[in-house]
Amino acid sequence: MAIKRAGEWLTALAANRKGEIFEIDGYAAVGMADGVRTPVPVRDTSPMPYGGELMFLPDRRPIVYHIESGDIETLTENPYEPGEPVFPVAAFNSPGYVQAYITGYEETAGVNSLPLFSYGAVGWRQGSFRSPLIRVDTEPRQDLRRMAREKVEAGVGRMRKRLPKNRLRKHLERCALEYGCPAGKNFFLGRYEAPLPASGACNARCMGCLSFQEDAGIPCSQNRIDFTPSPEEIAEVALVHIQRVKQSVVSFGQGCEGDPLLAAGVIEPAIRRIRKETPHGTINMNTNGSLPDVLANLLEAGLDSVRISLNSVREGCYEAYFRPRGYRFSDVLQSIETALARGAFVSVNYLNCPGFTDTPEEIAAFVDFRKQYPIQMIQWRNLNFDPLKYWRTMDAVAEHGVPMGMKQALQHIHNRFPDLQYGYFNPPREKWSLPNPNRKAPRAVDSGPSDI
């Protein structure tokens, strides 16, 4: 590999056992994508966006690039404190940015899984921490600088007076104030998208599920909702949000619940109640898409958009990660087909990971998938899961060639489908760049007598 001037590389970082982060002079940061290890040029990086976090990885060693010799090396001790251990550093970047590489590291023997975050490559240059990133969404929907705690608390106080008996309002208080959930905060701030969690159960066992983990070694980020809100409670929360937020979105399928299709019994009447009151706002569902017939009923009731979560469009890779119980990948494809046919705006929540998503096999499969299922949008979401464990799991079920790089992968798909919207957040219908041609004009659904 051509040896370049030090200035062209992102300086490597490491941490000591106290978690103190330091630069390693003479070494460049290394990005990883399954078998690929590559030094990161500064030109491919940007300063870490506001709200990102740095983490050090226990029981692991940093992989770095020695600029002088041009060698990729694994550090086994702290170069500034011989005999002392040294640990890799990773970036958990803010929403709206796709991580081009995983930070370079290797595991020591017998390690536990890493917690549910994404571990982006990161280094130091020009006075800032920098990461190789691709921005896919510029909306400040989850910009923490616009979510001051005191404003959220004031919003909570107002909503307590407005919806005193509503259990869902009470649940969202915990989401906003205790879990720090941006969607929960946005409800109380009256911004963008409000969450409507309703389901305590799920028929998948995703390896990286935020609300339920069978692997005792991985802590959940939040507990699942432990009650089923009534259609009235759901509709009340949704209508308060729709009536005070322009271009509002209300969404079923949140991190603090199972899959909303399993709570259709309360969600369907809730949607009808919302649409009885107003044609405004976008009613969205984030789901695993496991039950196409149930989804069809919700679309008939007035659901506007659907976001289906996928780590892969290949059956074996999908089932290895989602571990479905009682449904198959073909059911998910059926749900996508049904939603498209019924005029919904359909997004894929593409759980992406360098070293898998950018492999020739996954990209080729996605191109075939999009030809058959003309979805409107990809929401690029960095996979929050132990990358080495993920690559091992995916490589056990499918052959993979050399990753082309996330930047090239996003460009390749864009070149093939220039009409395909990229983003991170569920857009309100006013921002659908490619409305579904099967979509009928919004209509007030007559659902008979209502007592809202």
Is residue 320 part of the contact set for ligand SF4 (CB under 6 A)? no
Is residue 205 part of the contact set for ligand SF4 (CB under 6 A)? yes
Inter-residue contact 4 to 69 (CB < 8 Å): no
Interacting residue with ligand SF4 among 104, 258, 302, 427 (CB under 6 A): 258
Is residue 331 part of the contact set for ligand SF4 (CB under 6 A)? no
Return the number of the residue (123 or 200) whose C-beta is nearest ligand SF4: 200
Round to whole Å and give the CA distance between 267 and 198: 8
Secondary structure (3-state) at 63: strand
Return the number of the residue (167 or 205) whose C-beta is nearest ligand SF4: 205
Inter-residue contact 381 to 349 (CB < 8 Å): yes
Reference 254, options 290, 307, 189; nearest CA is 307
Amino acid 351 reads L
3-state DSSP percent of the chain in helix, strand and coil, to 5: 35, 25, 45
Q: Which two tokens stand for residue 171?
A: 């649940």
Strands annotated E in 280-356? 282-287, 305-310, 345-352
Size of the site for ligand SF4 (CB under 6 A): 10
Inter-residue contact 122 to 89 (CB < 8 Å): yes
Round to whole Å and give the CA distance between 135 and 380: 10
Which region among 32-40, 45-53, 198-206, 385-393 touches ligand SF4 (by CB under 6 A)? 198-206
Is residue 259 part of the contact set for ligand SF4 (CB under 6 A)? yes
What track of x and - describes contact with ligand SF4 for positions 277 through 316 (by CB under 6 A)? -----------x----------------------------
User: Rounded to the nearest whole angstrom, what is the least distance from the CB of residue 351 to ligand SF4 in the complex?
Assistant: 9
User: Rounded to the nearest whole angstrom, what is the least distance from the CB of residue 205 to ligand SF4 in the complex?
Assistant: 6
User: What's phi and psi for 92, nearest 5 deg?
Assistant: -100, 95
Is residue 86 part of the contact set for ligand SF4 (CB under 6 A)? no
Interacting residue with ligand SF4 among 22, 179, 212, 373 (CB under 6 A): 212
DSSP 440: P
The bridge status of strand 97-99 relative to strand 133-135 is antiparallel
Is residue 426 part of the contact set for ligand SF4 (CB under 6 A)? no
Burial code (b: 16+ CB inside 10 Å, e: under 16) for 224-237 equals: bbeebbbbbbbbbb
Is residue 202 part of the contact set for ligand SF4 (CB under 6 A)? yes
Interacting residue with ligand SF4 among 206, 239, 271, 406 (CB under 6 A): 206
User: Rounded to the nearest whole angstrom, what is the least distance from the CB of residue 331 to ligand SF4 in the complex?
Assistant: 13
**Which residue blocks in 101-192 are alpha helix, DSSP H?**
149-162, 167-174, 182-189
Return the number of the residue (193 or 259) whose C-beta is nearest ligand SF4: 259
Return the number of the residue (159 or 320) whose C-beta is nearest ligand SF4: 320
Q: Which two tokens stand for residue 406?
A: 């996330």
Is residue 204 part of the contact set for ligand SF4 (CB under 6 A)? yes
Is residue 335 part of the contact set for ligand SF4 (CB under 6 A)? no
DSSP bridge partners of 53: 92
Return the number of the residue (248 or 288) whose C-beta is nearest ligand SF4: 288
Query: Where along the sequence are the contacts to ligand SF4 (CB under 6 A)?
Result: 202, 204-206, 209, 211-212, 258-259, 288
